[in-house]
Chains A and B, each alone.
Chain A
Amino acid sequence: MVKTQQVRAQPALLRRTREFIARSGLLVALIVLFGLLAIFAPNFLLPTNLFNVLRAVAVNGIIACAMTFVIISGDIDVSVGSAVAWSSSLLGILAITLKIPLLLAVGIVLAQGALIHMGAGFIRVRWSIPAFVVTLALYISLSGMAKVVTNAYPITPFPESFSFWGQGYVLGIIPVPAVLMLITIAIFQFLSTRTVFGRSVYSVGGNEEASRLSGIPVGRTRIIIFALSGLMAALGGIIISSRVMAGVYNVGQGLEFDVIAAVVIGGTSLAGGSGSMIGSFLGVLFIGLLSNGMTLMGVPPYWQEVARGLIVLFAVLFSAWQKPIRK
């Protein structure tokens, strides 16, 4: 197969447009989606609806922050959904059944969330077990534990004031969970870009051996990442408990896949080493807006799941498409 060599220089404008789309493709997609929903979904543009979307995505957004670290470091955590359910159940048991003061109960739930995941991280590191396997085991046991302690019944009632965290508003209109999410994102964004810990996360995911030989404490970094993941899942469990005003054994089950999907859509590579908090935030928003829009347009819930699956596939294809510009 012998052809004449063509002189090919890609026009600069075309290349730059392509680069721009590749880098901010998700933002563009988000704006397009927003535009489409504004036209086709009834009541979409109402401020209450938009703030509702923010509230609905808040827990996913919070957990996605830690998940972004997990995935950048080259690991995965499939246990977060169960950890949310377990945390909610535990909070119910502590605050309602055992009548421990609410604030203390919240503190205990947050601490145990971090600790349990820290243990999982330790096992992951100490015996080099794939994170998927460790967190799968954790997923199953936490989901079981939630049912054990609650007998699979919702535990009620929390004191009325507790509803603020899941249902309250700041400045009369901004949902509290949305504010918590934004604060979390800001903190994680800072961690990831400005701190030694954040840079270590990227390094460990980029090349574990080179990081280790550069004296970066690889094991410690991974364990801290796991602890953050557990902590955020526990926080998510508390917010959801406040929203439903009960300790419920199965809330949050399955959210791990929405979270992982959002992180992947947000451009974080499952191979590790690259990704961003802002990307994950946009990913969470994208999935949230899509679900909201489909609900407003009356798409049946099961079809919504199918659509979400296809979106993930599309996002991965898109990131494969943008690779060639590296050459």
Chain B
Amino acid sequence: MPPILSLHQVTKQYPGVLALDNVDFSLDKGEVRALLGKNGAGKSTLVKILSGANQPDSGEIRIDDKPVSIPDTRAAFDMGICTVYQEMSLVPGLTVAENILLGRWPQLRLGAFSMIDHAKIRKIARGALDQLEVTLNLDEQVSRLSIAQQQLVEIAKAISFSPRVMVLDEPTSALPAGEVAVLHKVVRRLAEQGHGIIYVTHRLQEIPRVADTVTVLRDGKVVGTIQVAEATPKRIANMMIGADWQPTEWGAKSNPGAVKLAVRHLNRKGWLNDVTFELYGGEVLGIAGLLGSGRTELVRAIFGADAIDSGEIQVNGTIVSHPSPNRMKANGIGLTPEDRKRQGLILPFAVLDNLTLASLNRLNIHGILQRQRAQGLAMGMVESLSIKTASLSVPTGTLSGGNQQKVVIGNWLNTQPDVLLMDEPTRGIDIQAKEQIFHLVRDLAQQGIGILFISSEIEEVLEVADRILVMNRGYLTHQFRRGEIDLETLMTLVMEEIGHGQDTASTSPASVAAPHA
């Protein structure tokens, strides 16, 4: 039986980058193929070629062994290839149901007139969501959904086409654990029904759960394709990186100094409930919590990005009144936001601009920009974070997802903050870069900076933090020091159901203890 989809000698050249280099690839009916590779290896480029969003420079695509061309996304749909992109592509102002059927809304004909058949839209959309086993309000505006919910809408949209080949580009990078499991079930079911699936991810632990086979890309070339049974994390990592790779240990434990940031009785209705804690210089404070637990709202409130109802924020012992991002930055606080596309970057702007956005106010003499210094700072970050980019002047939007994430982090490192709030800094970052970022976080702590570290991957919090706060429904519910808790217990605490009438007394353990004790 011929493969359902195959690529032969596909090449794609971008200015300064060979993104795909004579790639051969084939996918069978009912197969789930994990597509792996470092940031910038060419995974998304391959995905875009299959989805019709990009054209290869040379090579051939075959479906059922018949050569085809995919000139645009419409053609890809018609051929039964559906793609869920890494960077989301929903229309924020439309409803969930309208987005799922975007561009093919059924019409009601009334003589010469036609109007949108909303009942039918909702019916089809409902069917797609049911297949996913998620409940979402069909009439909710997409702009009001969390990123995770939006991701589910994307996937429902793809499913509604009943595709033959479904391509998922990092579908789980923004999903909480519970929904990841749901997604994996859906993927397996689609495979059993005979669909072919390409699944891009950086989370190696997902592979045995979801994939049958694994293909690794490196610098645009296929390194190899192996069965999932042979795909140990170590083997995959070696294939991705090209050398024998060992995650390094950091022995040095940091040594907390004075309180840098003190948060007292922070309240924001519906999101934050009497949150009180301290962050010490030289420590990494991890926040473990599910999406929607209030962790993002917490850092945004501290940073002055959202208004609070009551509470107090002290930086180095002085209260900051009317916090705003501008004022917080002046006080030495930085925030790397979770949504790089909307909050972290100006995608059409050059890498140089995005790496110096937050430090513009320091890079000038009497208001005149010092371009040499800006160049120097940006270049320094490109090197120390190994950002893969053709030059400093290319639009940041052309970088691969993981490299964009590094630009967000670099932008804030360039401000030389005293306290760095990192909201999901490892989203979409490859394992090697993740190690680099962990190192960086430890190094910064070593230099006396206080770091607040948020990650949906609880393993990461355990790995990097000196102290862990558990956040749940806007409350800080528990506090632990490094080594006091294992992954399993932490998981249960994070997911624990807490009552509505929770009083502040039971949240206090996190607020009293100091890391020294």
Residues of A within 8 A of B (CB): 1-9, 194-200, 202-203, 206-207, 209-217, 273-274, 327
Of chain A, the residue at the smallest CB distance from B62 is A5
B93 beta carbon closer than 8 Å to chain A: no
A326 to B208, CA, bound (A): 39
Which residues of chain A have C-beta atoms less than 8 A from B303's C-beta? 213
> How far apart sit A140 and B374, CA to CA, in the bound complex (Å)?
44
User: Can you give 8 A-B contacts (C-beta < 8 A)?
Assistant: A3-B68, A4-B68, A5-B68, A196-B367, A213-B303, A215-B326, A273-B348, A327-B54
Task: Verify B348–A200 contact, CB threshold 8 A.
Answer: no
Residue of chain B at shortest CB distance from A204: B346
Task: Say whether B46 faces chain A, with CB atoms less than 8 Å apart.
Answer: no
Q: Which residues of A contact B75 (CB under 8 A)?
A: 1
- B164-223 at interface with A (beta carbon < 8 Å): none
B299-324 interface (Cβ within 8 A of A):
303, 305
Inter-chain CA distance A215–B328, complex, in Å, is: 8
CA distance A207 to B330 in the complex (A): 21
A195 in contact with B305 given A9-B58, A202-B349, A206-B346 (CB within 8 Å): no
Report whether B66 and A2 are in contact in the complex, using a CB–CB cutoff of 8 Å: yes
Q: A8-B55, A9-B57 known; A203 and B325 CB under 8 Å?
A: no
Q: Contact between A196 and B360 (Cβ–Cβ < 8 Å)?
A: yes
How far does the Cβ of B304 sit from chain A's closest Cβ, in whole Å?
Answer: 9
Please determine whether A216 and B326 come into contact, CB atoms closer than 8 angstroms.
yes
Residues of A within 8 A of B66 (CB): 2
Give A220's nearest chain B residue, CB to CB: B326
**Chain B residues within 8 Å of chain A by Cβ, number:** 46
Contact A207 B337 (CB under 8 A): no
The 8 Å CB contact of A210, one of B59, B63, B329, B345, is B345
Give the top 10 A-B pairs by smallest Cβ distance, nearest first: A215-B329, A206-B346, A214-B358, A207-B346, A214-B357, A5-B69, A7-B58, A215-B326, A196-B364, A215-B325
* A197 to B, closest residue via Cβ: B367
- B335 near A213 with CB under 8 A, answer yes
Complex Cα–Cα for A194 and B353 (A): 13
Query: Which chain B residue has the least Cβ–Cβ distance from A2?
Result: B68
- Given pairs A196-B361, A197-B367, A203-B349, 15 additional interface contacts (CB within 8 A): A4-B68, A5-B60, A7-B59, A194-B368, A195-B369, A199-B353, A199-B369, A203-B353, A206-B346, A209-B343, A210-B345, A210-B357, A211-B346, A213-B303, A215-B325
Most buried by B among A7, A203, A207: A207
Q: A200-B360, A216-B360 are in contact. Are A194 and B325 (CB under 8 A)?
A: no
In the complex, what distance in Å separates the CA atom of A207 from the CA atom of B59? 38
- For A216, the chain B residues whose CB sits under 8 A away are 326, 357-358, 360-361
**Contact present for A215 and B69 (CB under 8 Å):** no
B356 to chain A: closest residue by CB: A199
Residues in A whose Cβ lies below 8 Å from that of B56: 5
Give the interface centre of A4, A194, A199 by most chain B CB atoms within 10 Å.
Answer: A199
Instruction: Collect the chain B residues with CB atoms within 8 Å of residue A207's CB.
Output: 342, 345-347
> Which B332-368 residues sit within 8 Å CB-CB of chain A?
335, 337, 342-349, 353, 357-358, 360-361, 363-364, 367-368
Q: How far is the CB of A224 from chain B (nearest CB, A)?
A: 11
